[in-house]
Amino acid sequence: MAQNRKITPLIVAVTCLILGAWLAYSAFYTGLEKPYPPSATGWYEASRRPISRLWGQGIAFDGVYWYFSGRQYLCKTYLNYSIIIENRNPIPEELKKQGYDHIGDIDYFEGIIYAPVEDYRYKNGTFVLYFAENLTYTGKYIKTSQSHMPWCAIDPETQLLYSSEFDNVRSLYVYDLKKDFRRLKDLPLSQTLHRVQGGTIHNGLFYLSCDDFGELLYIVDIKTGKVLDSSATNIGWEMEGLTIYRFENASLGILHFIDHVKNIYHYSFKEAAG
């Protein structure tokens, strides 16, 4: 009995401690992050399939062909992912000597592949341009003052090129292709995004993929920077680059992204009723 009298207060004390810690933890996180806007879009996985281990960073589509990027790799494939051409040494020697070693999520615009390339010191993220036809280096690169450069995406309407840092992303960087990549005013976001891995632009909206809690997709208004929608994919692996193209074939869907363990996912969404 005497032993029980000792144990009971101990159990109560431990329970209170656990409860208190849990309450403090949830209060901290609730205070830290505003809730994401609930998904109104209803994304679902139409299909997925394994792809090469070399393709794990980025993806773009030109209407006919896929383009994939790895850390130091580019390839162009048919719709069925069979390789047409690959470049196994895409980073120009001049940049490699300066420590550039990591290509992120690429984009395609008017015959050119735009690749965001980071150096290992994370000093001056650099856009490197390749001919989409054969994936050779065009001879043009543009250094920026970005630290990280995980992705880039072009708005075909305005010919503005967008990119961002990797974590604690409160705004996007804007560069003007028509003015030789001059940096314009940043576009502030309505909420901070974490671990941004990929980005693409479609009909005035950004689609951003984040390796955050739940591997979320975010939809952001390109004019206002307002985060309009988010959807957790919960794929269980690190989220990487993405692209948008609306296929007639339902199994290919609309939104296409890759993960770090080399799968490609094709997502579609349920149209809102009424």
Residues of this chain that bind Ca ion (CB under 5 A): 60, 105, 200, 241, 243
Q: Where are the beta strands (DSSP E) in 81-226?
A: 83-87, 100-103, 107-109, 112-119, 126-131, 137-143, 152-155, 160-163, 169-176, 182-183, 187-193, 196-202, 205-210, 216-221
Tokens of 208: 């951003």
CB-wise, 154 or 189, nearer to Ca ion?
154
CB-wise, 92 or 241, nearer to Ca ion?
241
Query: How would you classify the pairing of strands 112-119 and 107-109?
Result: antiparallel
CB 211 within 8 A of CB 56: no
Amino acid found at 113: I
Amino acid found at 158: T
CB-wise, 61 or 98, nearer to Ca ion?
61
211 by DSSP, 3-state: which? coil
CB-wise, 62 or 221, nearer to Ca ion?
62
Q: How far is the CB of 94 from Ca ion (least distance, A)?
A: 25
CA quadruple 13, 18, 21, 22: dihedral positive or negative?
A: negative
Nearest C-alpha neighbor of 218 from the set 159, 153, 262, 264: 153
CB-wise, 243 or 268, nearer to Ca ion?
243
Q: How far is the CB of 40 from Ca ion (least distance, A)?
A: 23
Phi, psi of 76 (to 5 degrees): -125, 135
CB-wise, 98 or 144, nearer to Ca ion?
144
Q: How far is the CB of 7 from Ca ion (least distance, A)?
A: 59
